[in-house]
Chain A
């Protein structure tokens, strides 16, 4: 049985997955999984501030995610602590401050679980417009910035030497991450956003012969996980966000089975000839 709310959930979820795919590839290539987690966790702080100051939720979440990543980059420059420890501090304190602030605001009633783990089945048509509109912006930006993004991921030095601007590229990448977190929050929730970025990209690795294909496959695999997870959620009456992540994980495990997805490029290269 396919209700209206379920169709809306599917459309919204697929929109998020298509957007998250290419961005997730960069998160994996640049080893920024924990960084993404930190930005996502800061989203709850954004939620609290949006309620407190009565500003638009999306703008507040986006702003706080940008702020947290800026603070992180500044602290990293001082090199007082390892990036790893800094991420741990920022990630959990942003989440904790958000939780504390929400608890203080006794005059508002918010569904904390929905923010933490997503409430895809409560998606409204305007949410869908936001997801697809925002997603289109993100995907267009990634396509436009594709070459500098890939080049500075491989080597910032080479990109810089050969006329690109890796610092600016990185800034745009942060902005895109913050935007995706803001629009994906409702679907999988703050705690699970990074899984939708990382797991489809990691799954796509096995099937991909180029960065471009990996981005496309990550989008498709993410969409499949959304469809599978939502049907599972409907069938077994499980929460939708976690169900999508479990479906993504199952696809990832499938991709690890050796018989699947071995590309020609992945076989060891011919090393016979040298010189």
Chain B
């Protein structure tokens, strides 16, 4: 399997016999002359949970849409299992209020379902009492639960959940992640999830892929959360500044271009640039470029490196 060669060793713990549902190979999406994402590589197997994390505009939703065929890859390839049944929870769904749509009717949007299947899904997501409510009267969290229930009720091979818990309160968030894990265990479906909070999804995720226009780093949640690339992108604590100053070899400019350590500016940072901190295992075992000798390393980041891909 492509994945097991490329992923961090820890990710190899999952069963190898599982069928691959989706496979992205060097896939990219280009719009108006610039790459939204590029060089994306990952597989999702049955029973596997892959989580995409990354800052706003990193191309997480774009990557998810590319994986399920809503967007066609402009380079590279995306292959899906034949007749792959997908349940999709998009990041945004604006329903015109002029359409009278109850939660129950929303469930059967793309295909018929039995009443019992609808009831089970609504019960699992905790919104049985809202079955007959109009969708436009739901709160943000209730609406997310309804969308999740819809995806679950379809009994898909692959669930694609783009920030599935947005607007849900903290306690509910943990419960929903538990539910997603339970569904994976019960049905053996694959899950592609997008989140901006790695710590919430850690326990239920097999592979984390950290995106920022390209794959910045990948591996088990533990490895990624310790990696310097992750800290650079997400570090909200005191050391983040130091990490930012010392570690990354390129800076993503607001217009999508990239300024490299040597001051040069390019349209994108393709993995082939060779400027990268790649945790994907391309250059496994020494993926952090100590070669960049002009970068003084901060203590904390060195600690991060030590535990990377443990």
Residue of A30, A154, A211 near B93 (CB, 8 A) is A154
Query: Do A274 and B172 touch across chains, with their CB atoms under 8 A apart?
Result: yes
Report which residue of B90, B126, B134, B175 has the largest number of chain A beta carbons within 10 angstroms of its beta carbon.
B134
Query: Do B99 and A29 touch across chains, with their CB atoms under 8 A apart?
Result: yes
Query: Do A158 and B90 touch across chains, with their CB atoms under 8 A apart?
Result: yes
Residue of A29, A153, A209 near B102 (CB, 8 A) is A209
What 14 additional pairs, Cβ within 8 angstroms, besides A161-B69, A211-B105, A271-B139?
A28-B96, A29-B96, A147-B108, A151-B109, A154-B106, A161-B65, A162-B87, A208-B100, A211-B100, A265-B133, A269-B137, A270-B133, A271-B142, A275-B168
Query: Do A157 and B86 touch across chains, with their CB atoms under 8 A apart?
Result: no
User: Of all chain B residues, which has the CB nearest A206?
Assistant: B100
Measured between C-beta atoms, what is the minimum distance from B33 to chain A in Å? 13
User: Of all chain B residues, which has the CB nearest A204?
Assistant: B100
Q: Contacts A158-B90, A266-B134 hold; do A275 and B172 have CB atoms under 8 A apart?
A: yes
Residue of B90, B98, B154 near A205 (CB, 8 A) is B98
Instruction: Report A-chain residues with C-beta under 8 Å of the C-beta of B65.
Output: 157, 161
Q: Is B10 an interface residue (CB 8 A)?
A: no
Complex Cα–Cα for A153 and B139 (A): 21
Complex Cα–Cα for A29 and B136 (A): 14
Measured between C-beta atoms, what is the minimum distance from A102 to chain B in Å? 36
Query: Do A31 and B96 touch across chains, with their CB atoms under 8 A apart?
Result: yes
Instruction: Report B-chain residues with C-beta under 8 Å of the C-beta of A147.
Output: 108-111
Complex Cα–Cα for A159 and B150 (A): 13
Complex Cα–Cα for A55 and B93 (A): 45
Complex Cα–Cα for A263 and B100 (A): 10
Q: Is B194 an interface residue (CB 8 A)?
A: no
Q: Is A2 an interface residue (CB 8 A)?
A: no
Instruction: Tell me the count of chain A residues lying within 8 A, CB to CB, of chain B.
Output: 37
Query: Do B110 and A163 touch across chains, with their CB atoms under 8 A apart?
Result: yes
Q: Is A264 an interface residue (CB 8 A)?
A: yes
Q: Is B68 an interface residue (CB 8 A)?
A: yes
Q: Is A268 an interface residue (CB 8 A)?
A: yes
Instruction: Tell me the count of chain B residues lying within 8 A, CB to CB, of chain A.
Output: 41
Query: Do A265 and B99 touch across chains, with their CB atoms under 8 A apart?
Result: no
The 7 closest A-B pairs by CB, nearest first: A269-B133, A275-B172, A161-B88, A269-B137, A162-B110, A161-B68, A29-B99
Complex Cα–Cα for A120 and B98 (A): 30
User: Of all chain A residues, which has the CB nearest B103?
Assistant: A269
Query: Do A151 and B110 touch across chains, with their CB atoms under 8 A apart?
Result: yes
Q: Is B238 an interface residue (CB 8 A)?
A: no
> Number of residue pairs across A and B with beta carbons under 8 Å?
108
Q: Is B3 an interface residue (CB 8 A)?
A: no
Query: Do B70 and A270 touch across chains, with their CB atoms under 8 A apart?
Result: no
Complex Cα–Cα for A275 and B139 (A): 12
Taking beta carbons and an 8 Å cutoff, which residues of B are in contact with A? Answer: 65, 68-70, 85-88, 90, 93, 95-96, 98-102, 105-106, 108-111, 126, 129-130, 132-134, 137-139, 141-142, 154, 160, 168-169, 171-172, 175
Query: Do A163 and B142 touch across chains, with their CB atoms under 8 A apart?
Result: no
Query: Do B139 and A157 touch across chains, with their CB atoms under 8 A apart?
Result: no
Query: Do B160 and A161 touch across chains, with their CB atoms under 8 A apart?
Result: yes
Q: Is A75 an interface residue (CB 8 A)?
A: no
Complex Cα–Cα for A264 and B126 (A): 21
1/0 per residue, CB under 8 A from B, across A150-183: the answer is 1101110111111110000000000000000000
Complex Cα–Cα for A137 and B65 (A): 35
Instruction: Report B-chain residues with C-beta under 8 Å of the C-beta of A209.
Output: 100, 102, 134
Instruction: Report B-chain residues with C-beta under 8 Å of the C-beta of A274.
Output: 126, 139, 141-142, 169, 172
Measured between C-beta atoms, what is the minimum distance from A220 to chain B in Å? 16
Query: Do B169 and A210 touch across chains, with their CB atoms under 8 A apart?
Result: no
The A184-222 residues at the B interface (CB cut-off 8 A) are 202, 205, 208-211, 213-214
User: Of all chain A residues, which has the CB nearest B61?
Assistant: A157
User: Of all chain A residues, which has the CB nearest B173?
Assistant: A275
Measured between C-beta atoms, what is the minimum distance from B127 to chain A in Å? 8
1/0 per residue, CB under 8 A from B, across A226-260: the answer is 00000000000000000000000000000000000
Q: Is A273 an interface residue (CB 8 A)?
A: yes
Complex Cα–Cα for A216 and B207 (A): 49
